[in-house]
Amino acid sequence: MSKSLLAKYSGPVPRYTSYPTAPHFHEGVGCGNYAQWLKALGPGQSLSLYLHIPYCDRLCWFCACHTKHTLRYEPIATYLEALHREIAAVGELVGSGARVSAVHFGGGSPTMLRPEDMTALMAALRAAFDFREDVEISVEMDPNDLDDPRYDALAAVGMTRASLGVQDFHPDVQKAINRIQTFEQTRSVVEAVRARGARSVNCDILYGLPHQTEETLARTVEQIVSLDPDRVALFGYAHVPWMKKHQTMIPDASLPGMEARFAQMNLAADMLVAAGYVPVGIDHFAKPDDSLAVATASGRLRRNFQGYTDDAADAVIGLGASSIGQLPQGYVQNITATADYQRMAHGQGLAVTRGIAMTEEDSARAHVIERIMCDFSFSLCELRATYPWIAESLVEEAKAFAEADQDGLCIIDDKRFSLTPAGRPFARTVAAVFDSYLANGKGRHSVAV
């Protein structure tokens, strides 16, 4: 890959875990809209619940999540009281007959919760919502938090998937990002969750980290593969110090350049494929029999704020400070500051302060962008059948991009717009072509590769 081509197509663009993207949410959508959207859910519809625990007992300097550092449990206990209030309020509003197919505990560090608080939280969810018997329950884990009582609590709540952040096992890289976590420690977590019934394990790897080299990354990939995870996420480090001030602890000079990042990405991807993993979208890999790989092969892969998923839920309900919900009518986001969230949750049950209602054009563009991000292509026939009034305009945009493309990124025929192998690394950049909001300049984004 030439340096000029990388420079041309690796500029900052959204990650497209939603469309429209979060910078375009506004205060015109609030609790009233959300309440009506929840009431409209009903029989035959499935729900995916996301719970945000915005606390960590150490602050990783690479992290771009909404979280805060605490060494005391009292703030967490106070936060959980508000979260229980929101769960009850949302459950009362959801139309009867909608059922939960998936639950995801994210953060922050959900594994900071005391065992009794984790089981109480799941009991509250089951009291407020109707669960399917085959519900998937996934938990993001910090190995430094875990002990036998917490493992047992996770088994008690029915955890089916454990997700472990690894990043890079090299001590110099770990010191530079304030994330000390040995391979042996990580292996013990994998063994413990599998012994307690977790059917799936995911490991996250980052490239583009400070002081990271192809050699350190290759060794990390080898060690991860030896753990035999069902899924691996290979993310590029998003250096956004203007958004996350703690990232200023990572000097710009310690970061690999664009060419080095690209080489790291390709090296790790090639190693994972050689180990038998199937590429999923732009940054995930899964065993061939994993549901993500199956969804990829069948064209059912989806993308939302948790990344790639095979969850076909009709609505994602976000619970907790800063969490984002996705409903058929649009997106909502809870207030970010934990103190404000607690006041709103205790006062009225709901804590939404911004969002966006989807227009028909938004829905059509969201479809095109999601298919590019998931399949690296979209069907013109499907677009015309599903969004007949706007389809021709989008087809013309696709044709215009393909005609202007002098770098062999895409092809288009009578049936499909597709990225070529050369274009796939730049899927985010190509998806941005169909983003009608991007030109207004709201939001700053990480680089595309």
pLDDT band at 265 (very low <50, low <70, confident <90, very high): very high
Q: Is the pLDDT of residue 276 over 60?
A: yes
pLDDT band at 206 (very low <50, low <70, confident <90, very high): very high
Q: What is the pLDDT of residues 361-385, one digit of tens each?
A: 999 999 999 999 999 999 999 999 9
Q: Is the pLDDT of residue 284 over 70?
A: yes
Which residues have a Cβ under 8 Å from the Cβ of 246 and sit 6 or more positions away? 59, 61, 63
What pLDDT is attached to residue 102? 97
In our burial notation (b when 16+ CB lie closer than 10 A, e otherwise), range 149-181 reads ebbebbeebebbbbbbbbbbbbeebbebbebeb
Q: Is the pLDDT of residue 449 over 70?
A: no
What pLDDT is attached to residue 8? 87
Q: What is the pLDDT of residues 292-331, one digit of tens each?
A: 999 999 999 999 998 999 999 999 999 999 999 999 999 9
Residue 104 tokens, joined: 């995801």
pLDDT band at 59 (very low <50, low <70, confident <90, very high): confident
Averaged confidence pLDDT in the chain: 94
- What stretch of H or E contains 333? strand 330-334
Virtual CA dihedral for 392, 395, 400, 404, nearest 10 degrees?
-170
Domains of the chain: 15-357 (3.80.30.20), 360-440 (1.10.10.920)
Q: Is the pLDDT of residue 445 over 70?
A: no
